[in-house]
Amino acid sequence: TGATSVGKLVMRAASDNLVPVTLELGGKSPVFISETAEVEDVAAKLMLGKAMNAGQICVSPDYCFIPESMVEGFVQACKNVIALHYPTVVENPDFVAVINERHFHRISTYISEARQAGIRVEELNPAAEEWDNSKVHKVPLHLIIDPTDDLKCMQDEIFGPILNVKTYRNFNDAVSYVQKRPKPLAMYYFGKSESELGSLLERTSAGGMTVNDVTMHVACDDMPFGGVGASGMGHYHG
């Protein structure tokens, strides 16, 4: 279990003795939010899923697509969810730290790079706490709105408390965006449209998928769990 770059090294070493390997490699797991979805329900499930272990989970949502008309309501709903469940961050034992100083710096750099590029960044920090120089490595959840693809936050797997939010006008354009990129470990859809869901299943590929929730497919011990393509091979569970 780990990054794709490390998985290649493991597989190369295993090939010397033809040792079979199971590789679970993560990736940038997308979320599709339909105009048929209820924004408060989406925000509640997505924020609690993203806050779990401060986003340091292989199937954590990495970026989401949302209709342009819904983005402001979504941002406010996300703020409300965090304010309710995590009124403080830095001294809150229920909010997990980033694992070490290197990753704290990495996550902080994604945020600062987006801000310097003039990208809208929403910091979900209800108590307005100082966290930049925190020795406890606590980073509040951040929403990066419409980041450009040249930013590090859209190139690297986040594996931390950031959610990239990309707006769309046409659902098919969002599907095409994911279709052209490496296959993720997980994919999520919020909505009530059978045609949209069918299009996702027909046109894209991921290790696993949850509909109208996030991360929960991993909790099904009887169902195989693993990646495809760049997100791995073989399965746990099952």
Catalytic machinery residues: 24, 58
Task: Name the strands in the sheet holding 208-211, side by side, starting at the edge strand that comes first in the sequence.
Answer: 120-124, 141-145, 162-168, 63-67, 30-33, 186-190, 208-211
Nearest residue to 59 via CA among 195, 177, 236: 236
Helix %, strand %, coil % of the chain (to 5): 40, 15, 45
DSSP notation for 32-84? EE-TTS-HHHHHHHHHHHHHGGGG-STT---EEEEEGGGHHHHHHHHHHHHHH
DSSP conformation class of 104: H
Two tokens, residue 187: 């994919």
Pairing verdict, β 162-168 and 63-67: parallel
**CA distance readout (Å), 200 to 71, 178, 211, 226:** 21, 10, 11, 19
Two tokens, residue 228: 């495809």
Tell me phi and psi for residue 21, to 5 degrees.
-130, 145
Two tokens, residue 32: 């599709």
